[in-house]
């Protein structure tokens, strides 16, 4: 009988006692994780968050309650709700903003005298303390800024408050727009009987050339009216200034003109009830701007008189628009 040599047996025993692993310990490189950004998913998520938010729910239910309590058609309900909310929110903010702007203008009238005194004090300090021109300029600017801040604190008219109207108007516009859109889309719960009833009533609660408020305004009357009203508001604000506009003001004026034109096709692509709200809101804004130009109304609500205030604002606007149309007519003929 043949026997294997002992050396072979020892080698085999060593291999059996220390088996070779079947799989080598190889570190597998995983591909890097890539996050895919979806614009549609992001917009949908934002829209759902807004439509299901508590403020939108309050506005939406408030409009439904107003409609049910008054018994008015939906187009009238939208108009009344818009006027009511803007009267409660944006009109007081607009009055307050005009007060801040007037106070800033009044304290700016005190600055020339303060500047004169600071220049005299700086000239005296240069001689007494041997300040260099750079040191004198630094101290002068510091003192001037301090005096201006003291005036702002005294009159409680921080320049940031001149934007208070936008802080209230834009959120209100978004909330009510989403609330009306919810009524058309039967959101946030399409299975709710209240949502279905509101949608059905919207289909029957139109007016004139728009019997169904859930459909588009195919006549384009409301979208065009929206663009015209917004442009008129911009022109009133631009032409009611008594001082030449700054470069920044000119840029913003042209920007808002462009946005007003862009809003026309956007308004033509949304349900007519939403377009009706936008037109009503802009029409209210037009009336609000005209009202705040009146010196008599400004005194009634406590807006102080300022040198830049127009004595006869409406005549001034009529004359300005008349001159502009006359120049346009002459150019077109030429």
What is the pLDDT, as a whole number, of residue 2? 44
What is the pLDDT, as a whole number, of residue 280? 98
Distance of alpha carbon 56 from alpha carbon 62, whole angstroms: 10
Provide the mean pLDDT of the chain.
Answer: 87
C-beta of residue 125 within 8 angstroms of C-beta of residue 136: yes
pLDDT in tens, 67-126: 999 999 999 999 999 999 999 999 999 999 999 999 999 999 999 999 999 999 999 989
Distance of alpha carbon 118 from alpha carbon 267, whole angstroms: 55
Which of 51, 166, 31 has its CA nearest to residue 97? Answer: 166
Q: Is the dihedral of CA 51, 56, 57, 63 positive or negative?
A: negative
Rounded to two decimals, what is the model's pTM?
A: 0.82
Q: Report residue 235 as tokens.
A: 């022109």
Cβ neighbours for 92, distance < 8 A, ≥ 6 positions apart: none
Cβ neighbours for 310, distance < 8 A, ≥ 6 positions apart: 240, 242, 293, 295, 316
Any idea how long the chain is?
A: 334
What is the pLDDT, as a whole number, of residue 288? 96
Q: Cα-Cα-Cα-Cα dihedral of 240, 244, 250, 254, to 10°?
A: 40
Q: In the structure, what pLDDT confidence band is assigned to residue 34 with cuts at 50, 70 and 90? A: low
Q: In the structure, what pLDDT confidence band is assigned to residue 9 with cuts at 50, 70 and 90? A: very low
Q: Is 156 left (phi over 0), alpha (psi -120 to 50) or beta?
A: left
What is the pLDDT, as a whole number, of residue 261? 96
Q: Report residue 148 as tokens.
A: 């201006």
Percent of the chain at pLDDT exceeding 70: 85
Q: In the structure, what pLDDT confidence band is assigned to residue 333 with cuts at 50, 70 and 90? A: low
Q: Report residue 266 as tokens.
A: 């956007």
What is the pLDDT, as a whole number, of residue 4? 45
């Amino acid at each position: 009988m043949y026997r294997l040599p002992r050396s072979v047996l020892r080698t085999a025993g060593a291999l059996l006692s220390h088996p070779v692993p079947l799989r080598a310990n190889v570190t597998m490189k995983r591909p890097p994780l890539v996050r895919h950004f979806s614009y549609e998913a992001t917009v949908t998520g934002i829209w759902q968050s807004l439509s299901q938010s508590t403020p939108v729910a309050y506005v939406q239910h408030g409009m439904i309650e107003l409609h049910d309590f008054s018994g008015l058609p939906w187009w009238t309900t939208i108009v009344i709700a818009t006027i009511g909310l803007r009267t409660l929110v944006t009109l007081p903010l607009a009055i307050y903003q005009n007060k801040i702007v007037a106070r800033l203008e009044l304290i700016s009238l005190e600055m020339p005298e303060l500047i004169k005194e600071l220049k005299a004090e700086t000239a005296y300090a240069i001689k007494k303390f041997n300040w260099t021109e750079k040191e004198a300029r630094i101290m002068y600017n510091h003192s001037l800024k301090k005096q201006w801040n003291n005036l702002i604190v005294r009159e409680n008219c921080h320049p940031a408050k001149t934007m208070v109207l936008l802080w209230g108007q834009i959120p209100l516009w978004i909330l009510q727009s989403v609330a009306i859109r919810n009524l058309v889309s039967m959101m946030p719960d399409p299975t709710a009987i209240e949502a279905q009833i509101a949608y059905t009533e919207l289909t029957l609660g139109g007016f004139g050339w728009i019997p169904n408020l859930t459909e588009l305004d195919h006549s384009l009357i409301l979208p065009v009216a929206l663009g015209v009203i917004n442009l008129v508001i911009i022109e009133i604000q631009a032409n009611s200034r008594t001082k030449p506009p700054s470069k920044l003001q000119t840029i913003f004026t042209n920007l808002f003109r462009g946005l007003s034109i862009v809003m026309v096709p956007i308004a033509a692509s949304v349900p007519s009830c939403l377009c009706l709200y936008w037109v009503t809101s802009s029409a209210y804004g037009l009336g609000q701007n005209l009202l705040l130009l009146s010196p008599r109304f400004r005194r009634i609500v406590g807006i102080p008189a300022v040198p830049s205030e127009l004595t006869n604002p409406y005549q001034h606007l009529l004359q300005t628009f008349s001159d502009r149309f006359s120049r346009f007519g002459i150019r077109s003929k030429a």
